[in-house]
Amino acid sequence: MAIRVVVVKRPEREISYLRAALKGMAMTFRHLLQKKFTMQYPEQRSTDDWSLSPRWRGTHRMLTDEQGRAKCVACGLCPQICPANCIKLVPGEDEVGHRYPLIYEIDEFRCVFCGYCQEVCPEEAIHVGVHYENAEYERERFVYDLERLCAQTHPVSTLWDPSDPKGE
């Protein structure tokens, strides 16, 4: 197949820098009158045109069941798939044979927020959430334990969620 090419043409005449500067100035001032594109973060968290996507992959959250226990069954898929090796899981078993996580820690410093943990979770327990402000004063505070993951309240990402078939 012959490739259709278009040879880029140079302008025949250049305009002097003075005229170009004035023209540029006029265009820039016209932009002053246009709608503002920026927003005043942190006072303003969203604009009419933009708000954080419901699919946002941010701070993790562990969902809980009706009794307030973590849904996690310690199957071990998320530490297996995690490309950054940031999940620590020690499984335990109670007297009736139900598996649960003895230790479940996510190092938010190592995490790359790819969301694979949520993608592989067969119990819809671990989620990435629609939340991004997680600054701390101490490094140790960035290792989120099970209690802290369960205590998060922000909405979870709709990716890989049966409620959004397009993201599934």
Partner 1 sequence: MADKRTVALDLATPGMDAEGRPIRVPIGVAEGPGPEPDFSSERLLLNVGPQHPATHGVLRLVVELDGEVVTRVVPHIGYLHSGFEKLGEYRHYNQIIPLTDRTDYLAPMANNVALAMAAEQLMGIEVTERCQVLRVIACELSRIISHLVWLGTTAVDIGAFTPFLWTFQEREKVYDLQEAWTGARLTTSVARVGGMMADLPDGFEPKLREFCQAFPGVLDEVDRLLTRNGIWIARLQGIGIMTGEEAINYGLSGPMLRASGVPYDVRKDRPYLDYETYDFEVPIGEHGDVYDRYLVRMEEMRQSVRILEQALDRLPDGALNVDDPRVILPPKSTAMSDMEAMIFHFKQVMEGVPAPVGEVYTAIENGKGELGYYFVSDGTAKPVRWRIRPPSFLNIAALPKMAEGHLFADLIAINASVDIVMGEIDR
Sites of contact with partner 1 (CB under 8 A): 1, 3-11, 13-17, 20, 23-24, 27-28, 31, 37, 50, 52-53, 55-57, 75, 77, 80-81, 83-84, 112-116, 119-120, 122-124, 128, 157, 159-162, 164, 166-168
Q: Give the residues across from 87 on adjacent strands.
A: 106
- Residue closer to partner 1 by CB (options 16, 140) is 16
Angle at 85 between CA 149 and CA 123, to 5 degrees: 50
Cα–Cα separations (whole angstroms), residue 24 to 30, 37, 41, 47, 168: 10, 20, 30, 29, 48
- Residue closer to partner 1 by CB (options 35, 95) is 35
Local structure of residue 139 (DSSP, 8 states): G
Q: How far is the CB of 21 from partner 1 (least distance, A)?
A: 8
Q: How far is the CB of 95 from partner 1 (least distance, A)?
A: 25
Q: How far is the CB of 147 from partner 1 (least distance, A)?
A: 26
- Residue closer to partner 1 by CB (options 20, 102) is 20
Q: Residue for token digits 């942190």? A: 42
- Residue closer to partner 1 by CB (options 95, 133) is 133
Q: Residue 38 has which token pair?
A: 């920026």
Q: How far is the CB of 156 from partner 1 (least distance, A)?
A: 11
Would residue 110 be called left, alpha or beta, if left means φ above 0 and alpha means ψ between -120 and 50 degrees? alpha
